[in-house]
Amino acid sequence: MPQYVIEREIPGAGKLSAEELRAISQKSCAVLGTMGPHIQWLHSYVTGDKVYCLYIAANEQLIREHAEQGGFPANSVAEVLDIIGANTAR
């Protein structure tokens, strides 16, 4: 299944407490639990005012449905076409 990077604009995301991040994560997982096996959250990166999430999903529409059901912004959704890193240079 394709991977997607989701950019979520959340002002003050980097200042959220561990409890707030846990609550957001629990909400996300609860919604995913109702959506079936064709969407999976891998992990997210929290920055100052944004959260970047990596998902596996059958299609972009599932990503957007998850955001809508969970009340999460999905300001940008991009399919990952390739992955590169330091090992790519070798």
In the 3-class helix/strand/coil scheme, how is 18-86 assigned residue by residue? HHHHHHHHHHHHHHHHHHCCCEEEEEEEECCCEEEEEEEECCHHHHHHHHHHHCCCCCEEEECCCCCCH
Separation CA 80–CA 36 (nearest Å): 21
Confidence at residue 57, expressed as pLDDT on a 0 to 100 scale: 98
Query: How many angstroms separate the CA atoms of 82 and 49, rounded?
Result: 26
Segment 66-78 mean pLDDT: 96
Can you give the pLDDT at residue 41?
98
CATH topology of domain 3-83: Alpha-Beta Plaits (3.30.70)
Each residue's pLDDT tens digit, 20-56: 999 999 999 999 999 999 999 999 999 999 999 999 9
Residue with tokens 């970047």, as numbered in its chain: 52
- Give pLDDT, residue 18: 96
pLDDT at 60: 97
Domain ranges of the chain: 3-83
To the question of pTM greater than 0.85 for the whole model, the response is yes
